[in-house]
Structure 1
Amino acid sequence: MIEPVHIVGGGMAGVEAAWACARAGVRAVIHEMRPRTGTFAHRTGDLAEMVCSNSFRSDDHERNAVGLLHWEMRAAGSLLMEMADRHRLPAGGALAVDRDGFSAAVTEAVRAHPLIELREEEITALPEGGRWIIATGPLTSGALAESIRAATGAEHLAFFDAIAPIVHADSIDMDICWRQSRYDKGETEDERRAYINCPLTREEYEAFVDALLAAPKTEFREGETAGYFDGCLPIEVMAERGRDTLRHGPMKPVGLTNPHRPHEKPHAVVQLRQDNALGTLFNMVGFQTKMRHGAQVEVFRTIPGLAHASFARLGGIHRNTFINSPALLDGRMRLRARPHLRFAGQITGVEGYVESGAMGLLAGRLAAAEARGEAPEPPPPETATGALLAHITGGADARTFQPMNVNFGLFPPLEEARGGRRGRADRYKGYTDRAKAAWTAWLAAGPGAARAAE
Structure 2
Amino acid sequence: MKQELHIIGGGMAGSEAAWQAANMGLNVVIHEMRPKVGTFAHKTGHLAEMVCSNSFRSDDDENNAVGLLHWEMRAAGGLIMEMADAHALPAGGALAVDRDAFAEAVTARIMAHPNIRVDYGEISELPQDGTWIIATGPLTSGALAGSIREATGQTALAFFDAIAPIIYHDSIDMSKAWMQSRYDKGETLEDQTAYLNCPMDKATYEAFIDALLAAEKTEFHEGETAGYFDGCLPIEVMAERGRETLRFGPMKPVGLTNPHQPDVKAHAIVQLRRDNALGTLYNIVGFQTKMKYGAQKDVLRSIPGLENAEFARLGGIHRNTFINSPTLLDEQMRLKSRPNLRFAGQITGVEGYVESAAMGLLAGRLAAAEILGLPACAPPAETAMGALVTHITGGADAKTFQPMNVNFGLFPPIDAKGGRRGRKLRYKAYTDRAKAAWQAWLDK
Say whether 1:409 aligns with 2:409: yes
Say whether 1:432 aligns with 2:412: no
Question: How far, CA to CA, are the matches of 2:396 and 2:321 in structure 1?
Answer: 18
Q: Which runs of 5+ in 1 are unaligned?
A: 446-454
Question: How far, CA to CA, are the matches of 1:328 and 1:59 in structure 2?
Answer: 32
Partner of 1:307 in structure 2?
A: 307
Say whether 1:18 aligns with 2:12: no
Name the SS of the counterpart of 1:263 in structure 2.
Answer: coil
Partner of 1:399 in structure 2?
A: 399
Which deviations, in whole Å up to 9, do the C-alpha atoms of 1:19-69 show, x marking residues without a partner?
Answer: 000111111110000000000000100000000100100000011100000
Partner of 2:222 in structure 1?
A: 222
Name the SS of the counterpart of 2:223 in structure 1.
Answer: coil
Question: How far, CA to CA, are the matches of 1:28 and 1:368 in structure 2?
Answer: 10
Partner of 1:133 in structure 2?
A: 133
Q: How does 1:60-79 map onto structure 2 within 5 Å? A: 60-79=60-79
Name the SS of the counterpart of 2:118 in structure 1.
Answer: strand
**Which letter does structure 1 place at the counterpart of 2:414?**
L
Question: How far, CA to CA, are the matches of 1:58 and 1:232 in structure 2?
Answer: 16
Say whether 1:195 aligns with 2:195: yes
What's the TM-score once normalised by structure 1's chain length?
Answer: 0.97
CA contact (8 A) 1:416 1:422 kept: no
Which deviations, in whole Å up to 9, do the C-alpha atoms of 1:408-428 show, x marking residues without a partner?
Answer: 0000001347x9997111011
Partner of 1:268 in structure 2?
A: 268
Partner of 1:452 in structure 2?
A: none
Question: How far, CA to CA, are the matches of 2:400 and 2:59 in structure 1?
Answer: 30
Which deviations, in whole Å up to 9, do the C-alpha atoms of 1:101-153 show, x marking residues without a partner?
Answer: 00000000000000000000100010001000000000000000011111112
Partner of 2:161 in structure 1?
A: 161
Question: How far, CA to CA, are the matches of 1:420 and 1:203 in structure 2?
Answer: 38
Identical counterparts, % of pairs: 74
**Which letter does structure 2 place at the counterpart of 1:218?**
T
CA contact (8 A) 2:416 2:423 kept: no
1:400 to partner: Cα distance: 0.1
Which deviations, in whole Å up to 9, do the C-alpha atoms of 1:339-392 show, x marking residues without a partner?
Answer: 000000000000000000000000000000011012301100000000000000
Question: How far, CA to CA, are the matches of 1:121 and 1:374 in structure 2?
Answer: 32
Question: How far, CA to CA, are the matches of 1:27 and 1:287 in structure 2?
Answer: 42
Give the paired residue count: 444
Which deviations, in whole Å up to 9, do the C-alpha atoms of 1:162-205 show, x marking residues without a partner?
Answer: 00000000000000000000000001111011100000000000
Name the SS of the counterpart of 1:423 in structure 2.
Answer: helix
Question: How far, CA to CA, are the matches of 1:420 and 1:176 in structure 2?
Answer: 40
* Cα separation, partners in 2 of 1:409 and 1:174, compared to 1, 3 Å: same
Question: How far, CA to CA, are the matches of 2:132 and 2:251 in structure 1?
Answer: 43
What's the TM-score once normalised by structure 2's chain length?
Answer: 0.99
Partner of 1:444 in structure 2?
A: 443
1:252 to partner: Cα distance: 0.5
Say whether 1:50 aligns with 2:27: no
Partner of 2:333 in structure 1?
A: 333
Partner of 2:342 in structure 1?
A: 342
CA contact (8 A) 1:2 1:372 kept: no
* Cα separation, partners in 2 of 1:416 and 1:250, compared to 1, 3 Å: closer
Question: How far, CA to CA, are the matches of 2:87 and 2:186 in structure 1?
Answer: 17
Question: How far, CA to CA, are the matches of 1:271 and 1:149 in structure 2?
Answer: 41
* Cα separation, partners in 2 of 1:211 and 1:421, compared to 1, 3 Å: closer
Q: How does 1:113-192 map onto structure 2 within 5 Å? A: 113-192=113-192
CA contact (8 A) 2:416 2:426 kept: no
CA contact (8 A) 1:202 1:268 kept: yes
Question: How far, CA to CA, are the matches of 1:180 and 1:233 in structure 2?
Answer: 25
CA contact (8 A) 1:17 1:362 kept: yes
Say whether 1:236 aligns with 2:236: yes
**Which letter does structure 2 place at the counterpart of 1:437?**
A
CA contact (8 A) 2:416 2:422 kept: no
* Cα separation, partners in 2 of 1:416 and 1:94, compared to 1, 3 Å: closer
Q: Which runs of 5+ in 2 are unaligned?
A: none
* Cα separation, partners in 2 of 1:375 and 1:219, compared to 1, 3 Å: same
CA contact (8 A) 2:208 2:302 kept: yes
Name the SS of the counterpart of 1:228 in structure 2.
Answer: coil
